Amino acid sequence: MEVIQNILIVILAGYMTVDQNGPVVLSWFSVIVGMISGLIMGDMNTGLMIGGTFQLMSLGVAALGGASAPNYGLATIIGTFIAVRTGTGVDAAIAVGLPVGLLAIQLEVVVRIHINFISDF
């Protein structure tokens, strides 16, 4: 069962990224991602609490101009995964998820540079 959960979480993270840069069907918001990842992991309540916390963090953040906002959706997925899999609380999940969301800023910049390079061919 854990292998299936791992695969579904990775698929959710990939779909969230595609949806964020494409059709925007609201599935990249932290609350929605938290609900879906909590459903996959078997604890929707924890997923909603973590997703709601990250949604509140993202309310005043906007990526204007050259600025990049943290990827709170990825932080929600990682936080929910860690909280449910290890049995730690929501506070530990947020403490792990937030740095992952901040690291995702740099990953997004690297991916966009590569996409710009590849699109020239």
> By residue range, what is the domain housing residue 102?
2-118
pLDDT of residue 24: 77
The residue with tokens 């494409």 is 22
Averaged pLDDT, 83-106: 93
Structure tokens at 100: 């992952």
Structure tokens at 71: 């990827």
Which among 104, 80, 103 has a CA at the least distance from the CA of 93?
80
Task: Output Rg (C-alpha) for the chain, integer angstroms.
Answer: 15
pLDDT band at 5 (very low <50, low <70, confident <90, very high): very high
Which among 85, 40, 103, 13 has a CA at the least distance from the CA of 93?
85
Question: Do residues 47 and 9 lie in contact, with contact meaning Cβ atoms separated by under 8 Å?
Answer: no
Number of domains present in the structure of the chain: 1
Whether this prediction's pTM lies above 0.75 is answered by yes
